[in-house]
Amino acid sequence: MKILLALLLPAFLLSSFIPSAPAATHNENEGFFGVTPVGQQSGPTRTALVNYGLIAANGTITATATGTGGTSTATLSKPIGVITTDAITTAAAADHVMTVTNTGVTTASIINVTVNKNASTGWPVITSVEPGPGSYVIRITNAHASAAFNAALKLMIHVVN
């Protein structure tokens, strides 16, 4: 009996001085330990995702540029979209400059542009994109040594603010 008491007494004395951990609680709307269950998680709103250029806004995301010479203009006030040029005829080793009006663009915007030559001859290359307040300028260079553009090009646009 003395041995059993000698073993239990220190454990009893120590347990009265060591605080116990709080009991884990569970709220069915919250999940264990304050972690929100999958499917009930909140996150950025659709508006925030549109403003950051991660998803397209409702409505049309296409525009048609006007101008077939060395310059053209278009309006696409969306963070994501496709601009189709007129049938431009930019000569080999020459540039076509397009000004795009977009109310969401600032000088700090990052604008990604890719081009689909869309059955045109020539080699369209996006050589620069320069953002400004409310618009940006895209320079499309025909990198072919001898063939001019002879059809409309499609530009895929992604604006990140």
- Could you report the per-residue pLDDT of 26-68, keeping only the tens digit for each? 455 554 445 555 555 567 777 777 666 666 666 668 899 999 8
Q: What is the DSSP letter of 98?
A: E
**Third-level CATH fold of 72-160:** Jelly Rolls (2.60.120)
pLDDT at 61: 85
Q: Which residues pair with 25 in a beta bridge?
A: none
Contact 89, 149 (CB under 8 A): yes
Burial state string for 87-103 with b = 16 or more CB within 10 A and e = fewer than 16 = ebbbeeeeebbbbbebe
Q: How does residue 116 score in pLDDT terms, banded at 50, 70 and 90?
A: very high
Give the three-class secondary structure for 48.
Answer: helix
pTM summary value: 0.67
Q: How does residue 156 score in pLDDT terms, banded at 50, 70 and 90?
A: very high
pLDDT at 57: 64
Selected residue with higher pLDDT from 34 and 107:
107
Q: What are phi and psi of 13, to 5 degrees?
A: -65, -40
Q: What is the mean pLDDT of the chain?
A: 81
* Domain chopping of the chain, boundaries: 72-160
pLDDT at 40: 59
pLDDT at 44: 74
Residue 112 has pLDDT above 60, yes or no: yes
Radius of gyration of the chain (CA): 31
CA gap 96, 150 in Å, rounded: 13
Q: How does residue 103 score in pLDDT terms, banded at 50, 70 and 90?
A: very high
CA gap 111, 159 in Å, rounded: 4
CA gap 48, 161 in Å, rounded: 11
Residue 126 has pLDDT above 70, yes or no: yes
Rounded to an integer, the average pLDDT of 85-90 is 94
Q: What's the CA dihedral at 73, 78, 83, 86 to 10 degrees?
A: -30
Rounded to an integer, the average pLDDT of 123-152 is 97
